[in-house]
Amino acid sequence: MQTILVCDDDKQIVEAIDIYLTGEGFRVIKAYDGYEALELLETNQVDLMVVDVMMPGLDGIRTTLKVRETSSIPIIILSAKSEDNDKILGLNIGADDYISKPFNPLELVARVKSHLRRYTQLGNLTTQTAENVYKCGGLQINDDNKEVLVDGELIKLTPIEYNILLLLVKNAGKVFSIDEIYEQIWNEEAIGADNTVAVHIRHIREKIEINPREPRYLKVVWGVGYKIEKQ
């Protein structure tokens, strides 16, 4: 059974998260400020930590920094601040994910599961580097058997979606415009292409991303095109 440390100064929120995670079969230990969380980390075997930013005493950012000195467990930051700067700061100091309040409980659970899978199965995944396997963070495409795995979970895609994703993953970091994608996948000149490509992209995002509005892998570069974030 995996253990998750939840740390927030708001007891009701901790309680609610406890209910959700326990319901999913995790063991939850609770802390109400940064110092308490650090103490519990020392005495318990913890697999993942969810921590609030704004707490009295040691805040979430400094707690994360402290944890990172000794441990590499996944850390998800929870915060009422939703501005870009706050997210970038959180991710830069070593957090793995950032969820802004108020959050969707299901999303929180999905992210917890995803991070745990990636963290624990990382060893397995790295050994399987075959020739036609493309990897990008938790996203893995095996071109031999046309399989797409996200954090180890098999995803079902239509052939066109698969081809688009493969194109983007093969050229991770490169931005493709709608016309370029159309020409590569359909092998036709894109004259007056309708919303087809954009709709497909949206479907792919819905399938491989936990929150399609804030994608981790398939990013929209607005007004330019789409790309897979190089990781």
Measured from the CB atom, the residue of 142 and 211 that comes closer to other proteins is 211
Measured from the CB atom, the residue of 1 and 191 that comes closer to other proteins is 191
In this structure, are residues 26 and 112 in contact, taking their beta carbons and an 8 Å threshold?
Answer: yes
Q: Per-residue DSSP letters for 188-217?
A: S--SS--SHHHHHHHHHHHHH-SSTTS-SS
Alpha helices in 94-226 (DSSP H): 105-127, 159-170, 178-186, 196-208
Near other proteins in 11-30, by CB under 8 A: 12-13, 16-17, 19-20
| Stretch near other proteins under the rule CB under 8 A, chosen from 38-46, 56-64, 98-106, 133-141 | 98-106
Near other proteins in 34-93, by CB under 8 A: 54, 80-82
- Find the shortest distance in angstroms from Cβ 177 to other proteins: 6
Dist. CA 167–CA 142, nearest whole Å = 13
- Find the shortest distance in angstroms from Cβ 20 to other proteins: 8
Near other proteins in 176-215, by CB under 8 A: 177-178, 191-195, 197-202
Near other proteins in 110-149, by CB under 8 A: none
Which amino acid is present at 218? L
With b for 16 or more beta-carbon neighbours within 10 A and e for fewer, the 67-105 pattern comes to beeeeebbbbbbbeeeeeebbebbeeeebbbbbbeeeee
The size of the interface with other proteins (CB under 8 A), counted in residues, is 35
Conformational region of residue 138, where left means phi above 0, alpha means psi within -120 to 50, and beta covers everything else: alpha
- Find the shortest distance in angstroms from Cβ 115 to other proteins: 20
- Find the shortest distance in angstroms from Cβ 162 to other proteins: 18
Residues that bind other proteins in the complex, under the rule CB under 8 A:
10, 12-13, 16-17, 19-20, 54, 80-82, 101-105, 177-178, 191-195, 197-202, 220-225
